[in-house]
Chains A and B, each alone.
Chain A
Amino acid sequence: MISRTHVLVCGGTGCAASKSTEIMAQFEKHFLAKGIEKEAKVVKTGCFGLCEKGPIVVIYPEGATYANVKPEDVKEIVEEHLLKGRIVKRLLLGDTEAQDVARSLENVGFFSRQLRIALRNCGVINPEVIDEYIARDGYAALGKVLTKMKPQDVIAEMKKSGLRGRGGGGFPTGMKWEFAAVQKADRKYVCCNADEGDPGAFMDRSVLEGDPHSIIEAMAIAGYAIGANQGYVYVRAEYPIAVQRLRLAMDQARGYGLLGKNIFETGFDFELEIRLGAGAFVCGEETALMTSIEGHRGEPRPRPPFPAVKGLWQKPTILNNVETFANVPVIINKGADWFASIGTEKSKGTKVFAVGGKINNTGLVEIPMGTPLREVIYDIGGGIPNGKAFKAVQTGGPSGGCIPAAHIDVPIEYDTLIALGSMMGSGGMIVMDEDNCMVDIARFFLEFTVDESCGKCPPCRIGTKRMLEILERITQGKGELSDLEKLETLANSIKQSALCGLGQTAPNPVLSTLRYFRDEYLAHVVDKKCPAGVCKAMMTYSIVEDKCKGCGICAKRCPVDAISGVVKLPYRIDQGKCIKCGVCMDSCKFAAITFK
């Protein structure tokens, strides 16, 4: 039974929060009411990426994309669009003023500059139906590998493709597989890092929610290549929808003989298990993740030996992140040469970024490596809201740094970002405008690392804590000029001596803001001012004499009697007594109180 019309509704976490589940139910209800339930079909898909405009509903064959759909809009869409063939113009997603034509996703500015490889099925198929994945060439790569390729051919293909790890470091995937493949051992393991801890990045969650089979297929391919029969997906407990869809996908794959014993009747066995994380950022580090799968405290161990030699249960193990795996089936199907033709000389393929913060189109974007940052911010992201000025973009999360406006034309690839003192990381991209204080941002990240430091090695446990104390002092207006030097010295010694990636990169947000926004640090420590108006301790409430009518309400409301004056004349605030609670500002009817 083939339906005439397909209604695709996003079922990702973001859109589910904006009632997409109710929207799907409404569609089904109205299909029944109008007697078109046999012609029209609702498809629950994964994330389209444009979370800002969610929930998104796409209707094929027209390709009309509706944005910000509410449950009460469904009746109109069914009656107008599906029954009468008239597009509901007021709900169409448009990025220009001429919103009158139905465009397919590819023609909307947000999508037209993207190239979707890792996200190829997200927002296209129903992730809970294995047949839809198979219809999009799913499991064809696994079939090809098992029936036509030797393990060393698979590794050669991966090396030729130039794919590098998408989780942070950017290590060449083919080489990692080769290291594990040449080891002699009775058991080997394939692990998938789905412990997406970088706050602000959510591409791994979207792939698991929108295309879980691609991860299962890729892990089986990796297992065949290195000689492993067991895999583990280590996924955050905070992602319940992702875990549930992955479980379902594994059951379906087993039912089809694509996972388990004797896959494709080639004699190759591959089993997969899910392990839930329990809220520890350090478990994104490879050795800590393996320690955690073993059921221990997730503390990293020194390398060497590298996991490819001695990893999980002391056996050769490879660990790749979700996005890296999502690329693998496509590389096998379309060939390494095709993949290597995308991107730049040293960074091949595409990268998914979670663009968030002070930007109009927040969401997930997948772009070819080498795309200039400006294009991501302005052409895809739609620029900065409220007419504010672009200040910087933070990439790489707590391990990365800030790229200032002066470098906005940088092509995005692994090495250019490192040269700027930041890094690709897992792909979080947080945009900041003139209202964000860079010292406060550095403090925010340090607070995060101090909180998440596992405590095993002193440079990270004690060093980051001391750095945070200095930054707190600075944001409270108690900093001294010598503090900047102390921060740099501490940062460099922590980078050199910490045990794992978490500690070694923890000082990066501080070093990069010191490098590009030193004037802001100086304003804090020398002038005791916060130029962005964020650090409260350095700001004062004051009464503008021209605007004050002398009503005295603020003086009555002030809990510490810091305001005094004579009725009908301008009042004054005693800064020595003021506790900066802001009650006066809230109570003033004439907007006569400022805070800066």
Chain B
Amino acid sequence: MCKNALTEEKFRELDSYVDTLPEKHGMLISVLHRAQGIFGYLPKEVQLHVARSLNLTAAKVYGVVSFYSYFTEEPRGDHIINVCTGTACFVRGAEGILKELENHLGIKSGQTTPDGRFTIDALRCVGACGLAPVIMVDGKVYGRVKTGEVTGIVKEYAEV
């Protein structure tokens, strides 16, 4: 799990970003975006660090982290599988795709497999409604997915 390690190098990278900001006031969300980009998630240590560098309370930072669904406090899997559950995908059977995926990987939406390989997330609309139902693995969009194809798609990433 070394990729999730909170190395000093990563904290320095975050600090140098914060230092470039002309104005720190109101930049909490932008800093958290950058922090999640660097660390992959926002554990307590990172939140406290952000609070200190922006001169905010820890409660304030935690309040924002917990409010927005984009921010996560748990480490994520190597591959993130997003299932679009927007309306267009819903009427074309997205729930069945999500269930199949959950059964196949043995985890629920929002969870990560014990080996740290996969995370499943339900996502509200990636805006590719023309291709519904859609799943997105590590940013790559798969369109018109059928329940029978789910296992095959996961397999593409199992070795990588």
Binding site for A on B (CB under 8 A): 25-30, 32-33, 63-64, 67-71, 85-88, 90-92, 123-132, 134, 139-143
A residues within 8 A CB of B141? 13-14, 16-17
A residues within 8 A CB of B29? 275-276, 278, 292, 295
Contact residue among A51, A279, A358 (Cβ-Cβ distance under 8 Å from B129): A51
Interface assignment of A54: CB less than 8 Å from any CB of chain B: yes
In the complex, the answer to whether B87 meets A202 with C-beta atoms within 8 Å is no
Decide: A196 near B127, CB < 8 A? Known: A237-B70, A279-B68, A297-B67: yes
* Bound Cα distance from A294 to B26, whole angstroms: 5
In the complex, the answer to whether A14 meets B68 with C-beta atoms within 8 Å is no
Contact residue among A52, A277, A298, A444 (Cβ-Cβ distance under 8 Å from B90): A444
- A377 CB, min distance to chain B CBs, angstroms: 15
- B143 CB, min distance to chain A CBs, angstroms: 5
In the complex, the answer to whether B27 meets A278 with C-beta atoms within 8 Å is no
Interface assignment of A132: CB less than 8 Å from any CB of chain B: no
Decide: A275 near B30, CB < 8 A? Known: A202-B128, A358-B92: yes
**Chain A residue at minimum C-beta to C-beta distance from B24:** A295
- Among the interface residues A206, A292, A430, A441, which one has the most CB atoms of the partner chain B within 10 A? A430
* Bound Cα distance from A52 to B92, whole angstroms: 14
Contact residue among B30, B63, B127 (Cβ-Cβ distance under 8 Å from A276): B30
Interface assignment of A249: CB less than 8 Å from any CB of chain B: no
In the complex, the answer to whether B88 meets A362 with C-beta atoms within 8 Å is yes
- A160 CB, min distance to chain B CBs, angstroms: 33
B residues within 8 A CB of A297? 63-64, 67-68
In the complex, the answer to whether B64 meets A394 with C-beta atoms within 8 Å is no
In the complex, the answer to whether A199 meets B124 with C-beta atoms within 8 Å is yes
Contact residue among B68, B85, B92 (Cβ-Cβ distance under 8 Å from A278): B68
In the complex, the answer to whether B28 meets A237 with C-beta atoms within 8 Å is no
In the complex, the answer to whether A54 meets B130 with C-beta atoms within 8 Å is yes
Q: How many inter-chain residue pairs (CB < 8 Å) link A and B?
A: 138
Decide: A280 near B67, CB < 8 A? Known: A275-B30, A295-B27, A358-B92: yes
* Bound Cα distance from A188 to B88, whole angstroms: 38
For the complex of A and B, 10 pairs with smallest distance between CB atoms: A51-B130, A199-B86, A17-B141, A202-B127, A356-B88, A278-B68, A279-B70, A200-B87, A279-B69, A295-B28
- A368 CB, min distance to chain B CBs, angstroms: 22
Decide: A298 near B68, CB < 8 A? Known: A14-B128, A54-B130, A275-B30: yes
In the complex, the answer to whether A362 meets B67 with C-beta atoms within 8 Å is no
Contact residue among B25, B85, B87, B142 (Cβ-Cβ distance under 8 Å from A356): B87
26 residue pairs from A and B, CB less than 8 Å apart = A14-B130, A17-B128, A17-B131, A50-B130, A51-B130, A51-B131, A54-B131, A197-B124, A197-B125, A199-B87, A200-B88, A205-B127, A238-B125, A276-B33, A279-B124, A281-B124, A295-B26, A295-B27, A297-B68, A356-B91, A356-B129, A357-B87, A358-B91, A358-B92, A363-B130, A445-B87
A residues within 8 A CB of B125? 196-202, 238
Interface assignment of A296: CB less than 8 Å from any CB of chain B: yes
Interface assignment of A517: CB less than 8 Å from any CB of chain B: no
Decide: A13 near B128, CB < 8 A? Known: A238-B123, A279-B68: yes
A residues within 8 A CB of B128? 13-14, 17, 51, 202
* Bound Cα distance from A293 to B142, whole angstroms: 32
- B94 CB, min distance to chain A CBs, angstroms: 10
Interface assignment of A436: CB less than 8 Å from any CB of chain B: yes
Interface assignment of A179: CB less than 8 Å from any CB of chain B: no
In the complex, the answer to whether B70 meets A278 with C-beta atoms within 8 Å is yes
* Bound Cα distance from A296 to B60, whole angstroms: 8
* Bound Cα distance from A281 to B128, whole angstroms: 18
**Chain A residue at minimum C-beta to C-beta distance from B129:** A356
**Chain A residue at minimum C-beta to C-beta distance from B54:** A295
- A78 CB, min distance to chain B CBs, angstroms: 26
Contact residue among A13, A357, A441 (Cβ-Cβ distance under 8 Å from B88): A357
Contact residue among A202, A205, A278, A296 (Cβ-Cβ distance under 8 Å from B69): A278
A residues within 8 A CB of B30? 275-276, 295
B residues within 8 A CB of A357? 87-88, 91-92, 132
B residues within 8 A CB of A428? 87-88
**Chain A residue at minimum C-beta to C-beta distance from B88:** A356
Contact residue among A198, A356, A432 (Cβ-Cβ distance under 8 Å from B132): A356
Contact with B along A450-471 (1 / 0, CB 8 A): 0000100000000000000000
B residues within 8 A CB of A54? 130-131
In the complex, the answer to whether A362 meets B130 with C-beta atoms within 8 Å is yes
Contact with B along A229-256 (1 / 0, CB 8 A): 0000000011110000000000000000
- B59 CB, min distance to chain A CBs, angstroms: 11
* Bound Cα distance from A197 to B88, whole angstroms: 13
In the complex, the answer to whether B126 meets A13 with C-beta atoms within 8 Å is yes
* Bound Cα distance from A313 to B25, whole angstroms: 11
**Chain A residue at minimum C-beta to C-beta distance from B136:** A17
- B158 CB, min distance to chain A CBs, angstroms: 21
- B37 CB, min distance to chain A CBs, angstroms: 10
**Chain A residue at minimum C-beta to C-beta distance from B64:** A297
B residues within 8 A CB of A445? 87
- B64 CB, min distance to chain A CBs, angstroms: 6
**Chain A residue at minimum C-beta to C-beta distance from B92:** A357
In the complex, the answer to whether B123 meets A356 with C-beta atoms within 8 Å is no
**Chain A residue at minimum C-beta to C-beta distance from B29:** A295
Interface assignment of A354: CB less than 8 Å from any CB of chain B: yes
In the complex, the answer to whether B88 meets A199 with C-beta atoms within 8 Å is yes
In the complex, the answer to whether A430 meets B87 with C-beta atoms within 8 Å is yes
Interface assignment of A18: CB less than 8 Å from any CB of chain B: yes
* Bound Cα distance from A6 to B68, whole angstroms: 44
In the complex, the answer to whether B129 meets A444 with C-beta atoms within 8 Å is no
B residues within 8 A CB of A11? none
**Chain A residue at minimum C-beta to C-beta distance from B126:** A238
In the complex, the answer to whether B124 meets A13 with C-beta atoms within 8 Å is no
A residues within 8 A CB of B131? 14, 17-18, 51, 54
A residues within 8 A CB of B126? 13, 238
In the complex, the answer to whether A296 meets B130 with C-beta atoms within 8 Å is no
Interface assignment of A264: CB less than 8 Å from any CB of chain B: no
A residues within 8 A CB of B86? 199-200
Within 8 A of B (CB), among A201-223: 201-202, 205-206
B residues within 8 A CB of A430? 87-88, 91
**Chain A residue at minimum C-beta to C-beta distance from B124:** A199
**Chain A residue at minimum C-beta to C-beta distance from B123:** A238
- A299 CB, min distance to chain B CBs, angstroms: 8
